[in-house]
Amino acid sequence: MSDLYFNIESGYLEGLVRGFKSGILKHTEYLNLVQCETLEDLKLHLQSTDYGNFLANEPSPLTVSVIDDKLREKLVIEFRHLRNHSVEPLSTFLDFITYSYMIDNIILLITGTLHQRPISELISKCNPLGSFDQMEAIHIASTPAELYNAVLVDTPLAPFFVDCISEQDLDELNIEIIRNTLYKAYLEDFYKFCEKTGGTTADVMCDILAFEADRRAFIITINSFGTELTKEDRSKLYPRCGKLYPDGLAALAKADDYEQVKIIAEHYAEYRALFEGSGNNPGEKTLEDKFFEHEVKLNVNAFLQQFHFGVFYAYVKLKEQECRNIVWISECVAQHHRAKIDNYIPIL
């Protein structure tokens, strides 16, 4: 029944986002980009793609950071357009997408102030998708409780933060814990929201979010080896909306080294494939890249169905991946370091 009304409310935006999606660079375009000798070549080539003249008003010489900014700016403009034209429940859905960037921004700012960096320099590094009013005043907080009371209480992230208030100070480890707790709460909440929305949105988004949750669980586990994080604390950071919940997470909580993690992944068909194909040797793809590839696949698959919100999420993520790819290639081109230029994640 909701499908009937979908086009009235979000049909225009869905059409728009599908149009945007068709502008995502194809394999052949990557092949051409990789051949570029200089960033000017890259600019010339991007002109023939959907990016068009987005670099036309930039004076030479071009730098990677300018390209990065412009790429991001384009995505932000597109996303804001979508957000401004959306109605409930799509607008909440789109807001949820921005929350993850808000979390990243907060963490970036706290870490930055911890290292005594000037706030203006940090602000320019923040993702504009996740900016909010009180963001720039974040450096007044020296404890999580202050952070919550002064800054976050007015933001939509407040409910996610409730679990972190007990932490004592803001040091490196605690910031990491805060980040992961926030993320966990965010993912679980987003998952619930998608479930509540129901229909195809739930089908598509729950799959993507479950993978996201599991990926975080794996990575947290692997990164925690050799740090002072206790197993008990670690298990608190696992998002509980993935396919690993509850058995896999319980097993992960007990894992002591990479091999054990791999054995746990064996029980899940899709993750087994990812772990098997990965490695750190030259010629092999890292586990992280494997995860990215899988994410891209899920996101591309989201476009196979109609009348759901998953396409908006998938589009933002795919575009983000594309920006990473282009920046990677431009870095390789700029530094004349062509050996690893093929290590981008192709978007199918």
Catalog residues that contact other proteins under the rule CB under 8 A: 32, 35-37, 40-41, 44-45, 47-48, 56-60, 119, 133-140, 146, 149-151, 153-154
d(CA 247, CA 235): 12
Only one residue has tokens 């100070």, namely: 169
Which lies closer to other proteins via its Cβ, residue 146 or residue 233?
Answer: 146
Work out how close the CB of 320 gets to other proteins at its nearest, in angstroms, rounded to a whole number: 26
Rg (CA), the chain: 21
d(CA 91, CA 83): 6
Work out how close the CB of 60 gets to other proteins at its nearest, in angstroms, rounded to a whole number: 6
Which lies closer to other proteins via its Cβ, residue 9 or residue 41?
Answer: 41
Work out how close the CB of 19 gets to other proteins at its nearest, in angstroms, rounded to a whole number: 20
* Closest alpha carbon to 312 in 8, 16, 51, 1: 16
Work out how close the CB of 237 gets to other proteins at its nearest, in angstroms, rounded to a whole number: 28
The DSSP 8-state label assigned to residue 134 in this structure reads G
For 121, the token pair is: 């320099």
For 98, the token pair is: 């921005």
The DSSP 8-state label assigned to residue 277 in this structure reads T
d(CA 185, CA 201): 20
Whether residue 203 contacts residue 221, with contact meaning beta carbons closer than 8 Å, is answered with no
* Closest alpha carbon to 189 in 161, 229, 224, 215: 161
Whether residue 212 contacts residue 183, with contact meaning beta carbons closer than 8 Å, is answered with no
Work out how close the CB of 136 gets to other proteins at its nearest, in angstroms, rounded to a whole number: 4
Beta bridge pairs of residue 285? 278
Work out how close the CB of 49 gets to other proteins at its nearest, in angstroms, rounded to a whole number: 11
Whether residue 174 contacts residue 230, with contact meaning beta carbons closer than 8 Å, is answered with no
Beta bridge pairs of residue 278? 285
Work out how close the CB of 137 gets to other proteins at its nearest, in angstroms, rounded to a whole number: 3
